[in-house]
Each structure stands twice: as C-alpha cells, then as structure tokens.
Structure 1
Amino acid sequence: MALHRSGPHVTYKTREEMISVAEAFLINGKLGASETLCRQVLNEERENADAIAVLGRLAHMTGNREQARRMLLRATQIAPNSASHHFTLGDMYHSFGDVEAAVASYYSALNLDPNFYAVLVNLSNSLLILQRYTAAEEISRRAIELVPESAEAHSNLGQAFLKQGRLTDAHRALRKSVDIAPQRPDLLNNFGVLQQLMGDVGGAIESFQTALKRDPQATLAQRNLKIAVLNSPSWDTRALFKLHVELAKRHNRHGGPGKSTSRVGYTRGRKLRIGYISSDFHDHPVGNNLMPLLTHHDRNVLEITLYANVEAPDQKTALFQDKTDHWRDTSAWSDAQLARQISEDGIDIAVYLAGRFNLNRVETAVFRPAPIQVSFHDCATTGLEAMDYWLTDSLLHPPETEEQFTEELYRLPVFYQFEKPVNAPKVSAPPCLKNGYITFGSFNKPEKISNETVSLWAEILRKTEHSKLMLKYRNLFADDGLKRMWQERFSQEGIEEDRLLLMAGDHAQPKHLTLYSQIDIALDPFPFNGAMTTFEALLMGVPVITMKGRRFVDRVGATLLQHCALTEFVAADAGTYVDVAVQLASDPAQIGIWRERICSHLLESPLIRGQTYAKSLERAYREMWQRKCERFV
C-alpha cells in the first residue's frame, strides 16, 4: 500500500492509522486537524465508513445536528456489521432527545456484539428514561456480568429497582455503586435520594454533604441537601440559614446582569406581566395549590405566562395550559436560556415556585431576568441575593418569627389554598365505633417521620390501649425490607409489630381519600409538617393533631388548623401533643361528633376561597410593583 501523507512532516502507513489519529485529534479538541485527516482518507476511498463516522461526530460536536445524523446513518449503511457505528448513532440520537431511536440503534449494536459493555450501560440509561424498567434491569445485569465492578451498571440497576418499587434491592445496588466509586458525587446523590425516600434522613444528609465535598458545584446534591435538612430536628434556625446562604453563594457569583427592565417601563397602573416558573404544573400538591389562583386571576389586570419544566405531563397539565395566556416548555433550556426568555417576554414579576423541589429552576433568578422576583411555595429562604420577596402569611411567620431569610417577607392574608375534589367520597363514621380501638394514622412521606416523631407517636400508642398506627405513602410499604425497617424503628420504642398497619398501593384520588375512613385520628409529623395530607384528612372529617413550631415548615399544620378554627388540635409542645392525642382517643363519641363537623370547618374556611385568594395575590403583586416604581422614579 502507498504511504498516506498528512502535513509536511507526518506520514501514515495506513488509512486505519490516519482515522485512529483523527479520532485522537477529535477527542483532544483539534477539530480542524481531525477533519483534514478524514477528508484525505475520503479522497482515496469515498465510502470509508470510519472516516464518515468521525466526521459525523465532528458535525455533532459543532452543532450541525442534521449533518451529523446523515453521516452517522450513512456509516451504518456502508458498514452495517459495525457495532461501533450503531453505538455512535445511538449516542447521537440520545443527545437529540430521540430516545426511542437511540434504543433501536443500541439494540442493533448488541445484536452484532452482545458483550459491548458501553452499549449495555447506555442502553440501560435509555430504557430507564423510557420507563422500561424490567428491560433496564436485564440489560444492567448483563453489564455487571461483563464488568462486576461497574459503578455505572450498579447505579442503573438500582434505578431500575427503585422505579419498580423494590427499595431494598435498590438500596443494595446503589450502595454498591458508591462503594465502587466513592469519589463520584452523582452516585452519592442518587444513593442519598433513596435513603431519604426510605426515611433515613441522617444518612441522606451525610451522602449529600459528601457529594458536595467531592464537587462543590454538584447542583442536585445541593438541592437535595436543602430538602433533607428541613426534615431533621437537629438543624436549628441558625444552621439552616447558614447552609442556605453558603449554597446560594455558589450561584450568586455565576449570575449575569440580566435584562431587568420591562418593555413598557415602570408605569404604575398598567397591566402587569406575571411569570410562574415551575415543574409542578401537573397533579402535584404545589400545582393543586396554584390551580385556584390561576382559575381566578383577573386577566384584565394581569397577563400570565407559565414556564413549565414538567417531566411527566398529565390531564391537569392541559388544564394549566388552558388557564394561561402563554405557555413555555422550558424542559430543554438551561437556566441562562430560561432567563433570556423571561427577559424577552418582558415579565415584570417572576414567581419561582417550590424552588428546591423536583425540577424547579429557582437558580435562574441569579440572572435577574425580571425587575421583581418572588419565592412562592418554598419552605425556607432561597439565600439568593436576587430574590426580592418570600410569600408567606402571619401565621407561618408571625412578627416575632425566629426564622432567618435573605428575602423580604410578604405576608398574605392566607398562604395556602385548596380545591375540593369534585369526586370526593362522603365522610364516614370513625372506625373506632366499630373496631373498639383507636386507629391513628399518617399518609406523609417516611422522610418526614423523624426519630423524634417516632418516639412521640410510640408514646401515644403506649398510652392508648390496643390502639394501632396506620402509615402509608403511595406504594412504598409494598417493599418487605422497608416494612421491616419501620417495624424495627417502632420496636425500639416498645411497639409490637401487630400495632403497625403499613399500607401500600398507588391509588387514584377517590380511592386514596376513602382510606381516611380507616383512621380515627391523624398525626402530623415534625419538624416538616404535612400540608396536602392535612387538607385531605380534614376533608374526610379526620382530626389532625399537630405541634406548633418556630419556622415555616413546622408551623404548617397549626396554620391550617387555625384557619379552620380547629385550634383544639394544636399543641404548643411535645407533652401537650401527646396529651391532646390521648385525650381525644379516650372519647370515641367525641371523635364521632368531630367527624361530622370537621369537613364543614374546612369548607367554610379561607383555605377554599379561590377568588378571594387570587385578589390577595393580585394586590400583593400590585404593591410590589408600586414599590418598584417609586424606587425607580
């Protein structure tokens, strides 16, 4: 074979050598040199699949998506038996968001090379995205057979188990992934998420903190740590504030100036453009709280834009789209791109919903895309310098509150708002009248049930003979290992297994609400109270015992009950909490009387006054805008 020359000083003996060097150049960012080599190969062999594939990867790297697709597809047509080209095509499809096409390409590669480890790993990732969890499990197991110490494969296997509700198996697999690669913050974060879901909040906090030591910019670990600490009684007000400020600094310094003037300018009486930024525009507690507001907003005074990062749209998502003037799907945007769109839309007031939770985008605020920025339905300070207000009310944050925050508090007349479900079942008689014993209950997440909560609930059970405690959160307790873990936690407090009713099942709302007919008295956890669970219990006539705390998260229960004129069930401290529960449990007849009254207390409260609630928010926005105009002028 003749020698192949590239440049004045380098000579290659074969085309394969030239392509190998071109790939090395591509990996090292020497795109021009890589392209030159590939073009030289193609000058001698127009249908060289390997050179075309390298050029396809180069086109992909430079943003020429269609050219990349055509070239990589052509490479697979020229060399249909090359597993490598099918793999590269699959990776490209995956990066484009065409996961179905990626899976098809990966399977083509596996048919040619069943032991192609990288294909197995990327295929299992794609199958997880497509919610094909059984297939993802099978592919992950094959990857582990090839590379037993593969952290990636064990992590994928753990995610497949988790999505199937096999929490104990998921814990084992994710723990293994961390043991193999303890330096990887993403694996530590994934393990921490599972620990928190199962109720091991202390372990979760440790995992998230370790992830942040490995990478201080690990955004998911930052966010999840901010959630976890709210469930831990050991974090006091000062420690919580310090953490939020420290984490916010990592974003504050990355912010840009933004375009913080609206198109019309600071005119006091004009129509305001409000942007709501959320991932919860679906059947979700935050979305359900927001729906009455959007339903009753006065479109003569407000123009509404929803910036939606919804992972799994549902029927309620379509309702949100109907109730807004403008809908923006932000799922493919970076924070900077989202900020640019908010600015281009001329939003006057950007409202960031539940910033630390799910896929919400509160960090976008650092770009200052709107003149006024508001945190709404978050449970603590954002710590962000660019966040102007935190919406709350005078019960969640009384004047003497000890909570610390970087925003200015704006106290609404009422913070929470709910809608009565159209298909809510009728209130039934309390089960104690038939059972002859009291059934306490909580349908809150296990992560909210702190060790201190367990101790208090155990004390209540010890003081109420033959009573039982029903716990349920979705289908979590279908996992036998999780059930044993919680039985052991209560066993350490002297509560026998037969007094715990660990229920499971993913029920639609009507069926879910009927489960409250099996509870006599609901117990609110602390320090992170329930909100939607308290609303549901009250709707079904079930009294909720809560303890008033010192911060937003542990004053939610007391706030809801006070709005419903049900302060009889609000305790000032742990001892009173136990006394209130035990006293009520001693009088089944009184429970029956309350069962008939509590729903009326809720329905007659300001918690279900959508139009009034919307007016209060509109006044708040107008006042914020007036203040801004005064400063600007």
Structure 2
Amino acid sequence: MSQPPEFEAAVRAQAAGRLAEAEALYKDILARVPDHAGALANLAVIARRAGRPSDALAYLTLAARLPDAPGEVFFNLGNLHADRGEPDRAIAALETAIVRAPELGRAHMKLGLLLHDCGRPEASIEALVRAAQLMEPNEPALSAGTAAPRAAALLWSADKWPEAIGLFKAIAAARPEEIAAHLNLGLALVQASHHLDALAAFRRVQTIDPDNSDAAAAIPNCLINTGEQEKAYQAYEAALANPATRAGTLSAYCMAILYDGARSPAEKLQVHRDLTADWRLPDPPARPTRRPGAARSLRIGYVTADFTRAHPVAQFIAPVLKAHAEMGIAQTAYLNAGFVDGTTSRMKDLVRTVNVAGWPDDHLANQIRQDGIDLLIDLSGHTRGNRLAMFAHHPAPVTASMIGYPHSTGFAAIDYLVADKETVPEALSAGCSEAILRLPHSFLCFAPPPGMPVPEGRHPEGPPVFGSLNHLPKLGPETIALWADVLKAVPHARLLLKCGAFSEGPMRERFRDRFAECGIAPGRLIFEEPQAFGEAMGAYERFDIALDPIPYNGGTTTAHALWMGVPVVTLTGGNFCGRMGRSLLAAAGCASTIAGDPDGYVAVATRLAGEVDRLRRDRRALHAAVRTSPLCDVAAYSEALAELYRSVV
C-alpha cells in the first residue's frame, strides 16, 4: 500500500529528531486515516520517548487491533508493558510479534531476557539462541544499551558458546571503541579455548586503554595458552612493572611460572613470597580468637570461584562436603563467581553458600567473622577468581589452602597447606611458606562425577597409542622433548593429544612443528578438539598409555585415566605440582609406573608399550583395582581430612 506523502515527511522529521514536527504530521494522517498502522506505531515511539507512557499505550493498543498490524507494533507494545512492570502482557505481545515477524531478532532477544527475569531459563535460552542467529549487523541494540551484552552473557553462562561468541563479536564490531565489548568478547573466546582470537580482542582493549588491568592480565594468559611461554613471561613482567596493572597480574604470574621448567622450585617459591607481600596490610585487624570446643563442632569455610562449569575443584570437593555434612560439620562456601550454573546448583545442595562476587575484601572478611568460621580454607590459590588477598584481613582464627592450587601460595596469611607425604615429603617442607598438613594417602580423593563412564575395553589390534588430555600450558618444551624421546623409543607408536587449544587449526600446526623439531613426524600425532565431558572421557578408549607432563603434572586427568583403566607414566619432580602424579599413582596402587628421572620415564613407557595387548585386556581389572584403592575411598579420606581440621582449630 502506498503511503501518503505526509508519512514520508513525518518519518524524515522523526529520524532527524524533530519530534514535535513529526508528531503533528502523524496526527494529521490519523485525522484522515484513523487506522494507519505506521502513524499509530510511530506516535507511540514518540510518546514513549517523551515520557508519556499512557499515550504510547493508547496508540499501540489501537495499532495492535488492526488485522495487518506488523510485528514491530507488538514488539513496541511488549517493550511498553515491560516498562510498566507487566511481564505477562509483555511476553504475550512479544510472542505475537514473533508470529507476525519470525525474523525480528530484537523481539526474540527481548522475549528471552523477560523469560529469564520471570524464572523460565530454558525458554529464555531458546529465545536468545534464536536472537543471536537473527540479529542484523545494523541492529540498534548491538551498538547501544545493555540488552545485547546481557543476552550474550546469559548465552555464555548457559554454555551456548557459538551463539554467545557470535553475539559478542557483533557487539564488538558495532562498538569499536567500547572497552567492555572487546573484553567480553575476549573472555568468551577464552572460555571456548579460542585463545588466538581472544588475544586479538584483548590487544584491541590495550589499543584503547594501554593501562587496562584486565587486558594486561589476559594477554599473557592467552600467550601461555598458545604455547608462547617466554612471550607470556615478558608480558607478565611488563604488567607487574606498571603500577596500573600490577595488582591484576600478580596471581596470574604466580600460576604461570609453575609451567616453567627452567626455574627451580626455590625460585618459584620466592616469586610467590615476593609478590604476595603486596597484599600485606599496614595495620591488619587481629585474628578472631579460637572458639572453645571448636574441634567438637567444626565450622569450616571455603573460599572459591570454582563451583561452576564442572570445574575439577567442584568434582573433588563435592563428595567430601557431603561426607562432612553427614558428620555434623557446619560448612559455608563463599562463592566468587559472577553466575550460577548446574554445577553451582548441585553444590548448593551440599553446602551453605554465600555469593560474594564483587564484595570488597573487608566486607567479605567481616561476613566470615560474623559467621564464626573456625578454619577458613582457600580452594583457588592463584587461579582465576581467587580471593587470596582477602586473607590479609585475618577473617578466621586458622587458614589453609587445599586442592585448587598444587603449590605453596607464598602468602604469609595462609597458615597451612593440605598435602601428603608424596607431594610434600618432610624433606621438601622448606619449599612451602605454609606449615604442612599431610593426609595419609593422596592430597585429593576421586569419586566419579555425573556422566563419568567406565571402561569398555580397547580393540586388541593396532600399534600402541600414548595419550594426554592435559591442557596446553602443560605441554611446554620439556614435556615435548620427553614425549618425543618416548616416541623414538617406541617407533611404531602414536600420540593422541586432546585439549581445548586444538580447536584452533593454527595451534595444531604449531605443535606439529614443535614435535617435528624433536624428530617426530606429523603423521604420528593425533590432535582432538574439546568435547562435552562424557564424550571427552571416551578419548581414553582410543589410547593405551597416558603420559604425564612435566614440570606440572596432571591431576584431574591422571585420576580420570586411572578410573578408565589406562595406566599413567609420571616423572617425580621437585615440588607439589611436579609430584601430583606420584601421589595419585601411589594412592591408586600403581607405583610401578612412577619414574625418578627422564630415562626411567622412557623405560617405563617402553615397557608398557611392549605389554599393550595385556593392557587392553586388563582395563576393567585396573579400573576395579583403582575403584577400591585409597584414591577412591571417600569415607576414609573425609574422616582423615576432618581429623586434620580438628587438629588445628
């Protein structure tokens, strides 16, 4: 239908911001054509912008009654009902908008956000996925406002990474000078293990703001996760030298140097001590006094950012929380994650939780004091999202670190480190700033998480295949050289490597080249991309012998391999993170695959490769032995840990 010339003039006036002129023209049109949908809809927009919601509602109600009312009318009506605090009417209007205009991406987005606010998460994510698929590059919601970033964040928290990343990319393209847009894109790419692309996003942030602390920490982290150790250390050290970026980089650097095979354990500890000295307070509050009888009625606090995304810390601590609750131990978890997912919900069923994301350190410390915690345990160490600096406020009479960081924190405010005789024997106690609490077997206990399969058995034919599911920072030059020696000693074997970084083609090529430099032909390497947990565990059915990296051993991956009936070859190192393999294998009754030097490591791997037929037959037997070993004895581990708690309060 052709439009009267006044309508085109009104639209031009409205676009130019001459709203009074546009409003007068639209009203002239309605005087002659009372059911003109375009005039009614645009008058509603003008009235809403002018702060006259009642007028806007009247215009839209009239427009919505027209049989040919377009989807845009119902989209605007939905927005207006949402503004008026009428979510049910808003949802109904938006659903009609989508029926009338199925490709209207912003209607799907608004509907998804409203459904989320109304407690309908599944329907919300379904709508937001569709919105992400439909949003046009020139969509106004991409270039301004909070709706699109919020939609992308909800998709990200629901593990809809392709859609979230697509939306974050569109937002960043529409907001080239907005720091938050590029930071959010980079963080989403990191979560999806696309570290090369993330690096570009974070470098864009640094172009806008050279002193941005988030980018200063994220760039070297991306370099570590793309195998560029030396460049990463240089970037960290530059950030530490800049007062504007030092605080945000401190813990990340401590974590990163654990992968460095060129530094001694003593050097690594000294870095931890020196950097955590930044957190000391000039006049710290006194510690709370110890509660009489605390050992008989323990109150334990845990501080963590890792009760999300099936994180290993959540996997390992969950059965302990359950066992300790059954013992009558009062437990509180202080969660420093900015979102809640299925893992968080499961953990909340086991322990009282307090969401402390964004809380200042003194506020969090005061809350812990009010809760009367006897022993406060850090589960994060220097990993992302930690609250170690808060411990400088002395929120509890006794403090400790365990599970989440396989090394001394180096921080004087942490009293104890929970370990065992293998990870930190008496002779290595001086390598930690904390006093050592030793468990009788391993520093952790493994119970299969939801979705963990059991071994089905390998096909008896074919050459031996070594494998690793450790993440890429552990695959440093020392590890590659050691594994290359194994492959040279077993020339008919292959090596399967599976981790998030290998979702990027350039990363696969980079590591083919690095093995080639050590004399290993590309055809002997198998690279696999990440998968959902259950499918990822199926990788253990595709190789025969797991190789542990150095100088930072696998933890979760070793436990998973043993559970799946796959023997693990480990090399004993000189500090906690280099001795985790020794601890886990000893607790599992598999000490025969622990090596004391590189030659011994190659010899163990070669011996196992020569027994590959037996290994394939015996997978279920190894699984059964591990399952009944101290490594998987949750009850004994939990009781021993509770005794350690009682001994220090």
TM-score of the two chains, using structure 2 as the length reference: 0.72
Aligned residue runs from structure 1 range 531-610, under 5 A: 531-610=555-634
Q: Please give the secondary structure, in 1, of the residue aligned with 2:340.
A: coil
2:324 to 297, 311, 321: 297
1:597 Cα deviation (Å)? 3.0
CA–CA separation in structure 2 for the residues paired with 1:158 and 1:406:
35
Aligned counterparts, 1:446-525, within 5 A = 446-474=472-500, 476-509=501-534, 511-525=535-549
Note closer, same or farther for the CA distance 1:339–1:562 as it changes in structure 2 (3 Å cut).
Answer: same
Q: Structure 1 CA distance, aligned partners of 2:346 and 2:338?
A: 16
Kept in 2: contact 1:308–1:327 (CA 8 A)? yes
User: For the residues of structure 1 that align with 2:239 and 2:277, how far apart are their CA atoms?
Assistant: 17
Q: CA RMSD for the aligned pairs?
A: 3.5
Amino acid at match of 2:170: E
Q: Distance in 1 between matches of 2:396 and 2:218?
A: 33
What is the aligned partner in structure 1 of residue 359 from structure 2? 333
For 1:124 and 1:500, locate their aligned partners in 2 and report how far apart those are by CA, in whole Å. 42
1:140 paired residue number: 172
Partner of 2:299: 273
Residue identity in the other structure for 1:576: G
Question: 188, 191, 196: which is aligned to 1:168?
Answer: 196
Query: Residue 168 of structure 2 contacts residue 181 of structure 2 at CA under 8 Å; is this kept in 1?
Result: no
Which stretches in structure 1 are left out of the alignment for 5+ residues?
1-48, 50-72, 75-96, 105-113, 626-633
Q: Quote the offset at 1:123 in angstroms.
A: 8.1
Aligned 8 A contact 2:294 2:374 in 1 = no
Q: Secondary structure at the match of 1:529?
A: coil
Question: Structure 1 residues 624 and 541 mapped into 2: Cα distance closer, same or farther (>3 Å)?
Answer: same
Contact 1:294 1:323 in 2 (8 A): yes
Check conservation: 2:431, 2:575, Cα contact below 8 A: no
Residue 454 of structure 1 deviates from its aligned partner by 0.3
> Alpha carbons of 1:190 and 1:421: their partners in 2 closer, same or farther (altered >3 Å)?
closer
Equivalent residue for 1:319? 346
Matches within 5 A, 1:616-627: 616-625=640-649
What amino acid is the match of 2:526? L
Q: 1:383-411: per-residue Cα shift (whole Å, max 9, x none)?
A: 22221111111111111116522211111
- 1:42-191 aligned at under 5 Å gives the runs 129-130=153-154, 131=156, 132-144=164-176, 158-159=186-187, 161-162=189-190, 165-175=193-203, 177-178=205-206, 182-191=210-219
Q: Which amino acid aligns with 2:503?
A: A
Listed one character per residue, the Cα deviations across residues 397-443 of structure 1 (whole Å, up to 9, x for unaligned) are 11111652221111111311111346543423335x322x1111100
Look up the equivalent residue of 1:320 and give its one-letter code.
M
CA–CA separation in structure 1 for the residues paired with 2:511 and 2:545: 20
Q: Which moved more, 1:171-180 or 1:547-556?
A: 171-180
The answer for the alignment partner of 2:54 in structure 1 is: none
- The residue type paired with residue 392 of structure 2 is V
- Residue 226 of structure 1: CA displacement? 1.1
Count of residues paired in the alignment: 517
Partners in 2 of 1:124 and 1:403 — Cα distance? 52
Would the aligned equivalents of 1:278 and 1:360 in 2 still touch at CA under 8 Å? yes
For 1:79, the equivalent position in structure 2 comes to none
Question: What secondary structure is seen at the aligned counterpart in 1 of 2:431?
Answer: coil
| 1:502, distance to aligned residue in structure 2 (A) | 0.7
Q: Deviations over 1:310-335 (max 9, x none)?
A: 344333322322222x3211123122
SS of the counterpart of 2:496? strand
Q: 1:300 to 1:461 in 2, by over 3 A?
A: closer
- Counterparts of 1:2-21 in structure 2, within 5 Å, are none
Out of 419, 424, 433, the residue aligned to residue 406 of structure 1 is 433
Q: Distance in 1 between matches of 2:343 and 2:321?
A: 13
User: TM-score, with normalisation over the residues of structure 1?
Assistant: 0.74
Q: Which residue of 2 aligns with 1:358?
A: 384
Matched residue type, 2:528: M
TM-superposed CA distance for 1:491, in Å, is 1.6
| TM-fit CA distance, 1:219 | 3.1
Shift of the 121–434 alpha-carbon distance from structure 1 to 2, 3 Å rule, reads farther
Q: For residues 507 and 195 of structure 1, do their structure 2 counterparts lie closer, same or farther at Cα, with a shift above 3 Å needed?
A: same
**Equivalent in the alignment of 1:65:** none
Specify the alignment match of 1:219 in structure 2: 247
Corresponding position of 1:247? 275
Give the alignment of 1:382-401 within 5 angstroms.
Answer: 382-401=409-428
- Give the direction of change, closer, same or farther, for the CA distance of 1:161–1:456 in structure 2 (3 Å limit): same
What is the Cα deviation at residue 251 of structure 1?
0.4
Alpha-carbon separation, structure 2, partners of 1:125 and 1:238: 45
**d(CA) in 1 for partners of 2:543, 2:313:** 25
Name which of 185, 192, 200 aligns with 2:220: 192
Q: Report the Cα distance in structure 2 between the residues aligned to 1:393 and 1:236, rounded to whole angstroms.
A: 21
Flag the 1:129–1:218 CA change in 2: closer, same or farther, 3 A: farther
The answer to whether the Cα contact below 8 Å between 2:420 and 2:583 also exists between their aligned partners in 1 is no
Classify 1:175/1:272 alpha carbon distance in 2 versus 1 (closer, same or farther; 3 Å).
Answer: same
2:233 partner amino acid: I
Greater mean deviation of Cα atoms: 330-339 or 173-182? 173-182
Match of 2:288 in 1: 260
1:183-213: CA deviations, max 9, x gaps? 4443221111211222323322222221111
Mapped contact 1:285–1:532 kept (Cα < 8 A) = yes
The answer to whether the Cα contact below 8 Å between 2:196 and 2:226 also exists between their aligned partners in 1 is no
Comparing 496-505 with 167-176, greater Cα deviation is found at 167-176
The residue identity in structure 1 corresponding to 2:281 is R
Which residue is 1:202 aligned to? Answer: 230
Q: Once the 2 structures are TM-superposed, how far is the Cα of residue 179 of structure 1 from its aligned partner?
A: 6.1
- 1:498 deviates by 1.6
Displacement of 1:537 after TM fit? Answer: 0.7
> Could you list the per-position Cα deviations for residues 297-348 of structure 1 after superposition, in whole angstroms to 9, with x for gaps in the alignment?
1556522112122344333322322222x32111231221111000011111
Q: 1:178 to 1:519 in 2, by over 3 A?
A: same
Match of 2:44 in 1: none
> Residue 25 of structure 1 corresponds to which residue in structure 2?
none
Amino acid at match of 2:506: G
Partner of 2:69: none
Cα distance in structure 2, aligned partners of 1:305 and 1:152 = 33
- Cα pair 1:289 1:418 within 8 Å, conserved: yes
- Deviation (angstroms), 1:583: 2.2
Counterpart residue identity of residue 477, structure 1: F
- In structure 2, the residue matched to 1:434 is 461
- Distance verdict in 2 for CA 1:608–1:311, change over 3 Å: farther
Cα distance between partner residues in 2 of 1:469 and 1:503: 11
Moved more, 345-354 or 291-300: 291-300
What letter matches 1:142 in structure 2? A
Structure 1 residues 457 and 302: CA distance shift in structure 2, 3 A: same
Change in Cα spacing, 1:348 to 1:421, as seen in structure 2 (3 Å) is closer
User: Distance between the aligned counterparts of 2:365 and 2:336, measured in 1?
Assistant: 13
Query: Taking every aligned residue pair, what percent have the same amino acid on both sides?
Result: 28
C-alpha distance in 2, partners of 1:454/1:546? Answer: 14
Alpha-carbon separation, structure 2, partners of 1:170 and 1:416? 33
Measured after TM superposition, the shift of residue 526 of structure 1 is 0.8
Q: Does structure 1 conserve the Cα–Cα contact (< 8 Å) formed by 2:211 and 2:244?
A: no
Q: 2:70 corresponds to which residue? A: none
Q: CA deviation at 1:128?
A: 5.5
Tell me which amino acid in the other structure corresponds to 1:516: Y
* Contact residue 167 and residue 482 of structure 1 kept, 8 A: no
Q: Distance in 2 between matches of 1:622 and 1:370?
A: 15
